[in-house]
Structure 1
């Protein structure tokens, strides 16, 4: 009887843990805070996990009151009557209960410049985007050279996109196009020098920045915050001297190029700067 009660209690606790995770995920989904941890493209997996946890947790709770021998013993010929230490069981279950309790007790925190100081910042664009755009440009140049005698050869989608940016009165970098435009700026910098651009992000300064320098920065997320990167565009102007890290600004200026640690990167000569409120969803999601 004692063994039966012990196994039933174990099942009940496991069911409560699964239902607890269900409630935590449900709370994050309803509040919209789930995107502080994962990219929107991962939401279908979260919906599936939430439903699965609920079903399994409910089954475990109902089974905890079962008195059937088949549910209590495996009939393998071995003695399973010895119980584990209560302290050991408490420690094991605490590992699963801790994230549930902290998830409900503490508010979700948006990442800030303290993360940048630890992870570093990619000035210009991420290495992945730069490599992809460089490979695309190399392939297109090879194609153009092989068809140079054909004046009717249609332009590629990338060429048309760059041409559209160059012909626009001002390049306005939106969240949706942030990664794409940043990549094109870096791989085709000479073509964009002198073009006006508008960019929004939070202020971050590296220790070696001068007083009139800052990085207009954004966090980029592919799947979840574990693969988070920090992208930034160097901006220069007297207007930045009194700004503090993590303040959100909208910067308008002219695209320039500068050298940093032996690498040529885009920069912005600021013509106007405006403090703005942080967006409700401050991350850039890479698809």
Structure 2
């Protein structure tokens, strides 16, 4: 029997990819990278990697005849080593394939927050909001949501309704003037946004974190320490509107706020 280190390396890479995806699902960290609606696709990918691993294992140890005779090649490829005419190119290829494994297993990741929001699209009015739904669906759904919100004495925004409620407030802010509201998010301050007023915001992840964008509500408070806050807060206040760049923009008159820990699932999903 002949041991083929290159075939063993390929098997190891396949096993590590499968194990990495399985670990993300087991720990729940997968939700920090993709919309949970697509979790099934990544699970299928881990199974495919695992199947390919078992196929690859059969190529690690071969007889001398199998190692040199092309008649043992099949639709899945050759089990024997072919002369490596471009060793540098192949090594670079292996490095590029292994790079996501090394970073995934050994480098810590952090959730998107205020620092990352500086480089992302920011939505604080209805004309800028886009979550990928059709206009017909949004029209019917938003009407029902607005009726539901108008009937509530206090609007409480959480992980399940954050997008729907903020979209409704941004679409028809005049309907909610004077309405009390409770919501959580991270503080984001940018002089280019809302005349420098801080925003209470969260990231919307439509497909994966690569397409994440920020949405939220502008805050108005006499407490200057609020603008210096860098983490997550919980806010209680009253909705009002003001004119900004030719359009009505909702904002919250902050009555009370306090710092909170970052939630287990900081992102919201359409």
Length-normalised TM-score, structure 2 = 0.85
Q: Which among 17, 20, 23 is matched to residue 19 of structure 2?
A: 23
Q: 1:248 to 1:81 in 2, by over 3 A?
A: closer
Is structure 2 residue 121 aligned with structure 1 residue 120?
yes
Match of 1:230 in 2: 214
Shift in Å at residue 59 of structure 1? 1.2
Distance 1:127 1:20 in 2: 39
Distance 1:242 1:192 in 2: 24
Match of 1:141 in 2: none
Is structure 2 residue 100 aligned with structure 1 residue 99?
yes
Shift in Å at residue 91 of structure 1? 1.3
Residues 131-168 of structure 1 show CA distances to partners (whole Å, capped at 9, x for unaligned) of 9679855xxxxxxxxxxxxxxxxxx7654532332221
Match of 1:220 in 2: 204
Distance 1:244 1:14 in 2: 51
Is structure 2 residue 261 aligned with structure 1 residue 277?
yes
Matches within 5 A, 1:54-65: 54-65=50-61
Q: Which 10-residue stretch deviates more, 267-276 or 126-135?
A: 126-135
Q: 1:24 to 1:159 in 2, by over 3 A?
A: closer
Aligned length: 259
DSSP 3-state at the match of 2:223: helix
Q: Which 10-residue stretch deviates more, 62-71 or 10-19?
A: 62-71
Match of 2:178 in 1: 194
Q: 2:189·2:196 contact (CA, 8 Å) conserved in 1?
A: no
**Where in structure 1 do 4 or more consecutive aligned residues deviate above 3 Å?**
71-74, 129-137, 156-161, 208-212, 240-246
Q: Which 10-residue stretch deviates more, 196-205 or 84-93?
A: 84-93
Match of 2:84 in 1: 83
Distance 1:224 1:270 in 2: 32
Q: 2:220·2:254 contact (CA, 8 Å) conserved in 1?
A: yes
The gaps in structure 1 that reach 5 residues or longer are 75-79, 138-155
Q: Which among 175, 187, 193 is matched to residue 203 of structure 1?
A: 187
Q: 1:101 to 1:135 in 2, by over 3 A?
A: closer
Q: Which 10-residue stretch deviates more, 193-202 or 211-220?
A: 211-220
Q: 1:134 to 1:191 in 2, by over 3 A?
A: farther
Shift in Å at residue 104 of structure 1? 0.9
Shift in Å at residue 30 of structure 1? 1.4
Match of 2:78 in 1: none
Q: 1:116 to 1:245 in 2, by over 3 A?
A: farther
Distance 1:61 1:21 in 2: 15
Length-normalised TM-score, structure 1 = 0.80
Match of 2:109 in 1: 108
The gaps in structure 2 that reach 5 residues or longer are 76-80
Distance 1:209 1:53 in 2: 45
